[in-house]
Amino acid sequence: MASNDTSEMILAELRELRSTYNDWAQEVAGRLAALETDMKSVVGNGRKGRLESIEEDLENIKNWRWRIAGISTGVSTVLSIIGFLLFHH
């Protein structure tokens, strides 16, 4: 009988472990699915993702920086020439 009780205890423990494992596996599968969805949103799933959009915006900002630097240089050059012509005659 003691052997039978021990077997029943072991079986009960194994059933509980299997149930705990199944719950854990379902939770992990759900988290993995959410992670895959988020990754596709960031990287893009054959289409433009948020990361590519951010890279394009950053490139536009860099281009504007150079445009503004060029315009500032042109304006300062024109002002310098006007100042030279007005005050050095």
Tokens 């299997």, residue located: 18
**pLDDT at 43 (0 to 100):** 76
Residues 25/18, Cβ–Cβ less than 8 Å: no
* pLDDT reported for residue 89: 63
| pLDDT for 2 | 67
**Predicted TM-score (pTM) of this structure:** 0.48
Rounded mean pLDDT, 35-57: 82
pLDDT-based confidence at residue 39 (cuts at 50, 70, 90): confident
Q: Which long-range contacts (CB under 8 A, 24 or more apart) does 27-33 make?
A: none
